Structure 1
């Protein structure tokens, strides 16, 4: 999730206990005038950070690579991508989605799902004209929270893309096929409606679907119920790092021999009054109401917060051995991934970037590749003041020579999909691998001086990807990085 600043005393900003303020505390999206910022921690391999509120010392170290990296060669443990599915602000067709990104089209507009006229932020990456016809029956469709509707449609489209439609699935060992689709916030509409019924009408008027359709595991559960997939099934909720966490865990199920295929990704539908209002309260969002398409502007000096988005992005992850036995079309290869925690602050990134840089290091070690092999980064890049530069600084620590690396921000066009962000951006990364074209980062008018990596500003570029990484970070200091590459037998 976006790295933002503190919104209220004792919660995200100043301490109410009389102790000094948090390291790097912010008031809104701007550095607070009255907050003492502690000196930056050393980053010479061993970082010692004293959290001001507890005086507790934290030690962290990036383990050096002791031997030459080695990619996995066992076809039972190699993980390939055989299908993709999405629901996005640009629709549900993968090629249309990526064509819009390549064109530099913004999907950000004024919210009309509810009356936002009294909100200080009135725009977002709202999905319109969504249809689940052919994927969800009418009765269930009317009951479901959008979060689960998006998940089911994206999941079934991914299965279709992998040639795993209903007729084929019924002939397979479905105990070897799992589902791991997470959400940062779950069924927020179902939850908000249930609470409203409780407050206004009493508990007897709460819908029996209030709990089932609110909890975050229900996307994976409903998709499995519809398709009969009986393998590992659960959800992960790590805010905006969710989808990458799901990819990482799904791949490990395959590597351990617990599944042949995993349906994995993220889903979110938080553009509702409580969702938008909550992020406004955090002072996380851009307030460019007069020019929404220019609001999401990663790395631009005039950025003022992120833009909310929504949708779902799902991959079919499969062991190479299984994919080859069934003659699947292999789209790309998942080489590895990693997850770490900043252990620093609920919303702000570590000033030294250690959590992110160590996560990138670990992902490359897991993938069995060296930093020199990476030439593309799909960045988290939410368009917040602190988060954008913290990520760039961490990337520059890992990749000493960035002259051949290109880096872009998908959120500049579709907004921040929260728990779905990593799923949508993984699809963008794989499409870049397949097409040889990188979508631009739009609204790059006044680039930060510290950003010396090519951000593919405003216009698409041709670029043959050797190895690409996709970053996602979430509130709570959750960091996740996944590594993709063209498939080569």
Structure 2
């Protein structure tokens, strides 16, 4: 059922480009990947890998970990940004936090360095509910507060959940955050073993979504936050609708029949009250793997009549795992704000509708797809707010 619009009013971001939304936007527009060579990621602990890792920073009072500091920093930036644009919290503000592997670095320390022993208060900091509760206390919010997890589709899943809360009247506003700072050597190594992460080549050489010669992605990290509301107070973007389905097919592979992927897109468009021929841009999951690129190219060619322009920002920000969709939605939101789609440069022959570098944009509806590992299909429909 088509429901009233939800507005995305504030944005906060901590990424491989640095702390703050300006660093993300400047990095995207540069066309240069956030990834850098990081030592200590080979089996012998001596080798290097290309990683879009969040640099050290943040407020030490927010906790000892990069993850806790990034989550709080992104949320504060989004809330301050929303306030500067005219938003005022309603009586009931909910909080959603998208996570897949929270506090991996601290769990690693807990078992490998501390032998499973620490003060109870420090142990509780490892629980995924703790940062959510601490943020609620900081801002005196009293709505529902919970975590969302749908692998790489967690960002889309969180936005869809936030819209459901708002449409139902359960809350007046929602602060949504997606955080994934999980690039320990063990995690990176196993994604390499899966055959999807590429650490031995520069990102634009390895990750070429919808282009010849793509081998996968550089892994990344991020925490990205939004304020969502029914208040129309100088928002970045309108969230028109969305949908999720599940392939129930394979633990890693996309169902080549695309049955549930296509159904997800059709339901998202229906929920948004948008026809296929109205979609101008597809902000793809686009990890640079053959099966995902094939599926999403099929969406553009078959479901959308080959009309929309296509892009993926993963060659630039990296694959930020549980925060991936949230980072990519930030690219769309900031793109509407600045009138530019921050697409990466093409480096090889590819899909005929693939954008080549930053492209001037004058509005138009965006379909944001995200295909999480294990069959988590999701799509949201975004439009300029003005």
TM-score by length of 1: 0.73
Question: Does structure 1 retain, via aligned residues, the 8 Å contact 2:154–2:325?
Answer: yes
Q: How does 1:30-429 map onto structure 2 within 5 Å?
A: 72=3, 77-112=4-39, 114=40, 116=42, 118=44, 122-128=49-55, 130-133=56-59, 138-142=60-64, 145-163=65-83, 174=91, 176-197=92-113, 201=115, 203=116, 205-206=117-118, 208=120, 212-289=124-201, 291-319=202-230, 323-324=231-232, 328-400=233-305, 402-403=306-307, 405-429=308-332
Q: Secondary structure at the match of 1:481?
A: strand
Aligned to 1:472: 370
- Root mean square deviation, CA, Å: 2.4
Residue 209 of structure 1: CA displacement? 5.5
Query: Equivalents in 2 of 1:382, 1:439: separation in Å?
Result: 16
Any idea what the Cα deviations from partners look like across 1:129-169, whole Å, max 9, x if unmatched? x4223xxxx34432xx322321111011000000179xx97
| Secondary structure in structure 1 of the residue aligned to 2:288 | coil
Deviation (angstroms), 1:178: 0.8
Deviations 1:252-309 (A, max 9, x none): 10000011110113110011122212212322211434x3453322122212122110
Aligned partners of 1:225 and 1:346: how far apart in 2? 38
Gapped regions of structure 2 (runs ≥ 5): none
The number of residues matched between the two structures is 384
* Structure 1 partner of 2:382: 484
In the alignment, is the contact (CA less than 8 A) between 1:333 and 1:486 conserved in 2?
Answer: yes
Query: Contact conserved, 1:191 with 1:211, CA < 8 A, in 2?
Result: no
Contact 2:309 2:354 in 1 (8 A): yes
TM-superposed CA distance for 1:116, in Å, is 4.4
Secondary structure of residue in 1 paired with 2:148: coil
CA contact (8 A) 2:238 2:384 kept: yes
- For 1:362 and 1:269, the matched residues in 2 are separated by 32
| CA deviations over 1:215-257 (Å, ceiling 9, x no partner) | 4444433322322211111011111111110000011100000
**C-alpha contact (below 8 Å) 1:90/1:97 kept by paired residues:** yes
Instruction: Give the structure-2-normalised TM-score.
Output: 0.92
Label 1:279 to 1:211 Cα distance change in 2 as closer, same or farther (>3 A): farther
C-alpha distance in 1, partners of 2:197/2:182?
14
CA distance in 1 between counterparts of 2:160 and 2:215 reads 31
Contact 2:20 2:77 in 1 (8 A): no
1:456 paired with 2:352, answer no
Q: Which residue of 2 aligns with 1:433?
A: 336
Taking the aligned partners of 1:389 and 1:192, their CA distance within structure 2 comes to: 36
Unaligned runs of 5+ in 1: 1-69
Larger radius of gyration: 1
Alignment check: 8 A CA contact 1:380 1:472 kept: yes
Hey, what's the Cα distance between the residues in 1 that align with 2:262 and 2:134? 36
